[in-house]
Amino acid sequence: MSFLRALLAAHLRACALDGTGIAVATFAAACLLTACNGRPGQLSPPPAEATILRIGFPQVTGEDPLRGMQQASALLSFEALTRGSKDGRPRPWLAESWSVSADGLSWSLKLRPHAMFHDGTPVDAPAVKRSLDESLTNLADRSFQPGLQDIVSIDIVAPREIAVRLQDRSTFVLDDLSMSITKALPNGSRLGTGPFFATSTSPEQITMSSFHSYYQGVPQVERVVWRPYPALRTAWAGLMRGEVDFLYEVGQDSVEFVQRESSVGTYVFLKAYVFGVVLNSHRDSLKDQRVRQALNFAVDRKLIVDQALRGSGLVASTPIWPLHWAYDQNVVGFTYDPGRASAILNSVQSPRTNPRRGVSTSPAHLRFTCLLPENFSGWERIALLVQKQLFDVGVDMQLEALPAGAFNQRIARGEFDAVFLEMIGGYSMSRPYFFWYSKSPVNYFKYAVPAVDQALDDIRHAPDDQAYKTAVRELQESMIANPPAIFLAWGQTARAVSRRFVVPNDPDRDVFLRVSEWRLAVGSSQTRN
């Protein structure tokens, strides 16, 4: 999996539905389902007066539009035992409750009584064990879900209860049991348990129908149609023309404009991704933690949020999710102090020398190259601001834009000084673990700090909430003392929905995750062409 695709997969997991990368059911699979006459999960075609939700999916990276759209649409078809939440606590999903043994080595999970796969068969303990065993067997790399590394076995305890046995106490196991529970079909595709299932897929459109036996109630939307757009601008035009009812994602630079449109409701939320210039700690010029601290003091994060993100974001000094229940707001991050940055660099680096006069000048001289992927205009805008602010303290950060393939290869080979990224940081503490733990195969940045490793291990194996909070504070302090990157900001994004639809708005959840509860507003037309 490429680095950018790995980040995308992690991002979908962080959206509380935790994407799996598995393919959605094909049209042939859907035909098999509808042919199951008289079965509990029998699915019939939508009536002529069906309520249709059309989703515009802006594709701004230049990659295959179907790939991203399939991954997003899968969030409506596939569900896991648990889901994440903004406060970092796992929430019930297909598992309605759980308990842990006194030694922390066994988790008992009770399943919902009425959940079904899309063919009408029950989501019972044998089915869940089979799905989890298959996923764990076929999962070549558990680095993105370190909690899975602690699992020894999945056992059936009762018809609706399983036990997850561990080799060591793990606070990550519930967070990382975010693999979709699926059922394999003879044709190789997989069925999910969600409120919608795919009936046809093409590069131009993905069509989904509602699952009438969905355990949380029959969705009022009968059909969901996904359409890709080459850019947010064309997707917005489609919304204004009535081609679509919902824009899947609206970037920071467009939210203010969209909010001016009275026929559209906007739902803004903080993304679980942190922008940053990640530094290669093995480069000679960046090995010294004082140099990396100086680079952090040189950056005005508030200015970046105000200008590059249009005020839609939170400043960041670490990659630790700021809304997590264990996050310590009293830990002081980096302030903007260019004078301090220059003083540190002057004390560490050899001063710049004027070759004509033979005298030292200040500030200290430092030069490195920062990679960023092509066609990510929002990222480039932020990187240019960082470049200017570093230049003001005598640091020459050259930007090198690369195609996605070359960008991934350079990172995988460690051939970089720095990389500009938007990295997954929430909602679970397992996210910083898989990037920054020294022995993690996903730690492409050669970052190895014993105090950080110790704090991450203490979080992973914490026996109680107090020990967990103490370890999180230690992680925050350690990553500020020895920073792996110039972390900048957590960005916001938004969903834009036509007011034809009434949308439940729960502050703890993305409105997209409740599409099954959307309904037409009173007086709105029941049909769309």
Domain boundaries, the chain: 3-250+499-520, 272-491
How much is the pLDDT for 105?
97
Average pLDDT over residues 245-265: 77
- Rounded Cα distance between 326 and 314, Å, is 18
What is the per-residue pLDDT for 66?
A: 61
SS (H, E, C) 14-58: HCCCCCCCCCCCCHHHHHHHHCCCCCCCCCCCCCCCCCEEEEEEE
Q: Which residue has the higher pLDDT, 96 or 241?
A: 96
What is 3-250+499-520's CATH topology?
D-Maltodextrin-Binding Protein; domain 2 (3.40.190)
Residue 63 to residues 5, 20, 201, 390, 422, Cα–Cα distance (Å): 11, 19, 17, 32, 17
Candidates 1.10.390.10, 3.10.105.10, 3.40.50.1220, 3.40.50.920; CATH matching 272-491: 3.10.105.10
The whole-chain average pLDDT of the chain stands at 85
Residue-wise pLDDT tens digits, 197-250: 999 998 889 999 999 999 999 999 999 999 998 888 888 888 888 899 999 988
pTM, entire model: 0.86
Of all residues in the chain, what percent carry a pLDDT higher than 70? 82
| DSSP code at position 324 | S
Tell me which residue has tokens 């009293």: 330
With b for 16 or more beta-carbon neighbours within 10 A and e for fewer, the 360-395 pattern comes to eeebbbbebebbbbeebebbbebbebbbebbeebbb
Distance of CA 63 to the CA centre of its chain: 18
Q: Has residue 178 got a pLDDT over 70?
A: yes
pLDDT given at position 465: 97
Which residue bears the tokens 């969705």? 219
